[in-house]
Amino acid sequence: MTVAVVQFGGSNCDRDGVRALEHLGIGAERVWHEDGLPDDVEGILLPGGFSYGDYLRAGAMAARAPVMQEVRAAAAEGVPVLGVCNGAQIGCESSLTPGAFTTNESARFQCEHVYCRVERADTPWTAAYEKGEVLRLPIAHAEGRFEISEKRYDELEETDRILFRYCDADGAVTDEANPNGSTENVAGVLGERETVAVLMPHPERATLPDLGLTDGAGVLYGFDPSLQS
């Protein structure tokens, strides 16, 4: 398959995404947003970075780019879509997933490794893991705090759409393990379809053995779960 890695002005993780996917045996190509999606697109990655310089709100301007209409249409047809960091912000701003990502509780940019607990292991993005497994992943964001109304959060819980929560090394979900103040330590969520997901940590930066961390590879297998066997 071939995954379209959508590049906006200010994206800076598109090459990282392509390299990580190709390392796993998944074909990938960078697609400039103004060119639109390829007709035969089989997967879509919205990468991290600072699309449009994060003016207005992070991801808000990119979410209104014409290509996102194509992304939403593809998602509705079951094409796998993953938003990472700035891509997660774009995904929320595009209503691919609920909630929003806003300024970190610390009010500063944070670049560090965190722990995330797998809340579901029966989705394409988490089938490589066990429920409750703890992953070590990097974050790099200033607006990564997941916010959602109490009513919408309850809906997420009721429909089992929370993928990852920030936790400590032992898997305990605590305030101290929450790097940005996200509601209920949420680090990643599903859209209405399980083939659509967003998360703030960077799985593509935790895929190549050369980088010393491979915990994120299983997330990217969501584009082609057959490669897990």
Average pLDDT of the chain is: 96
**pLDDT at res. 51:** 95
pLDDT, average across residues 71-90: 98
Kindly name the residue from 70, 119, 194, 204 that is annotated as catalytic.
204
pLDDT, average across residues 47-62: 92
Give the confidence band of 54 by pLDDT, cuts at 50, 70, 90.
confident
Distance CA 137, CA 150 (A): 27
DSSP letter string, 73-133: HHHHTT--EEEETHHHHHHHHTTSSSSEEE--TTSS-EEEEEEEEES-SSSTTTTTS-TT-
Neighbours of 211 (CB within 10 A): 14
Question: Who contacts 219 (Cβ-Cβ below 8 Å, separation ≥6)?
Answer: 82, 125, 126, 128, 199, 203
pLDDT, average across residues 172-194: 98
Distance CA 29, CA 45 (A): 10
Distance CA 32, CA 21 (A): 18
| 1 pLDDT more than 80 | no
Catalytic residue at 33?
no
Catalytic residue at 202?
yes
* 101, 145 contact by CB (below 8 A): yes
Find, among 15, 2, 199, the residue nearest to 117 by Cα: 199
pLDDT, average across residues 85-113: 97
Find, among 41, 53, 51, 42, the residue nearest to 7 by Cα: 51
Question: Who contacts 57 (Cβ-Cβ below 8 Å, separation ≥6)?
Answer: 89, 93, 100, 102, 143
Catalytic residue at 116?
no
User: pLDDT (tens digit, 9 = 90+) per residue, 119-129?
Assistant: 999 999 999 99
Q: Tell me the residue length of the chain.
A: 229
Query: Tokens 């909630």 identify what position?
Result: 99
**pLDDT at res. 69:** 97
Instruction: Name the least confident of 54-58, 113-117, 152-156, 191-195.
Output: 54-58
**pLDDT at res. 229:** 59
Three-state DSSP at 225 gives helix
pLDDT, average across residues 149-160: 96
* 185, 146 contact by CB (below 8 A): no
Kindly name the residue from 93, 141, 167, 202 that is annotated as catalytic.
202
Percent of the chain at pLDDT > 90 equals: 93
| 32 pLDDT more than 70 | yes
**pLDDT at res. 9:** 95
Helical H segments across 146-204, by residue range: 150-158
**pLDDT at res. 121:** 96
Helix, strand, coil distribution of the chain in percent, nearest 5: 30, 25, 45
**pLDDT at res. 226:** 83
Instruction: Name the least confident of 17-21, 56-60, 106-110.
Output: 56-60
